[in-house]
Structure 1
Amino acid sequence: MVTYYRDRDVVVTSGGIRIGGHDYRLRDFVQVWHARGRRQWSAVAGRGALGIAMIAPLVIGALGVLLALVLDASTGTTVALAGGGILVGLAAAPLADVLLELVDRSYDRGSRRMEIWADVRGHRTLLLRTDNAQRFGQIYRALQRALDHDTVPR
């Protein structure tokens, strides 16, 4: 028996699938499809906030340097503004690394609820509902591979 996917809640093998506490044989599936729910704007807004947080130090740093050049201030004040602006701008690099990791994770989670449906012996059955886009993709591809390699006619 070939295992295509396994986690604590879902097992997809060449013999069948165990999901949500139910066991299904592959030959019981007439059709399998997926559906996407509505976009969760909170996830999109969170990505936007992360983008702003990455850009903010650069903008503040550039403003500091610009003010140092435009203002007719003493040499000490000009150096302090320019140096402070450069330091704030340089602080953006390590901050951006952390924030980009968070953006990557937000795309893994996705911004929509995903569902896997199947026609099981004539009954429409919801197999899986998840917000995790990466996990959804892994399970759906595993189920497709298992069905493609299933030699029993439906």
Structure 2
Amino acid sequence: MITYYEDRSVQVTSAAVRVDGRSYPLAELGLVWHRRGARSWRVLAGRGAIGVALAGPLVAAALGVGIALRLHLSPVVTVAVVGASVLVGLGAGPLADVLFERLDRSYARGSRELEMWARWRGRPVRLLRTGDALRFGQIYRAVQRAMERAQASSPAQNAIGSSGSRPRPRSRP
């Protein structure tokens, strides 16, 4: 038996797809497709907040330099304000690394709920629902590989995306 994917709740092998304790033998699975839900505005707002947090210290530093130069203060005060503003801008570097990492993870997880469906014993059944796009893509590809291998050994079985009574997938993850 070959294991194509495995985590705490999903296991895809050459024999079956197991999700949350339920097992679906590959020999009983027909067409497999996926659906994408609506965008999560919460996720998009979080990405916007990260962008503002990234720009905030740099904008504050630029404003400080501009104000110090515009007010024509004494050279000592101007240098102090410009120096403080530059330090604020430089302080954004370590913060930016953390924020860019969070932003990158946000895009890896995606902003939509994703569902994987299959025709099992003649009726549609939802195998998986998740908001994690990276994990969903790994599982979906594992099911594809398992189905392709099963189809090669028994040509009568349907493959992912083959025509049948269900429509073809509208989009790919």
Q: TM-score, normalised by structure 1?
A: 0.96
Question: How many Å apart are 1:108 and its aligned residue?
Answer: 2.2
What pairs with 1:23-102 in structure 2 (closer than 5 Å)? Answer: 23-102=23-102
Distance across 2 between alignment mates of 1:21 and 1:125: 15
Shifted more, 92-101 versus 104-113: the winner is: 104-113
Amino acid at match of 2:148: D
Counterpart of 2:30, as a letter, is V
- How far apart, in 2, do the equivalents of 1:8 and 1:62 lie? 48
Number of equivalent positions: 154
Q: Which runs of 5+ in 2 are unaligned?
A: 158-173
CA RMSD of aligned residues (A): 0.9
**How far did 1:4 drift?**
0.1
Residue 135 of structure 1 deviates from its aligned partner by 1.0
Q: Are 2:139 and 1:106 aligned?
A: no
Which AA in structure 1 matches 2:35? A
Runs of 4+ that moved beyond 6 A: none
What per-residue deviation string (whole Å, max 9, x for no partner) do you get for residues 24-83 of structure 1?
A: 111211100000011100000000100110011111101111112111111221011110
Q: How big is the shift at 1:20?
A: 2.3
Do the aligned partners of 1:50 and 1:99 also contact (CA within 8 Å) in 2?
yes
Q: Which residue identity does 1:39 align to in structure 2?
A: R
AA of the residue aligned to 1:30? G
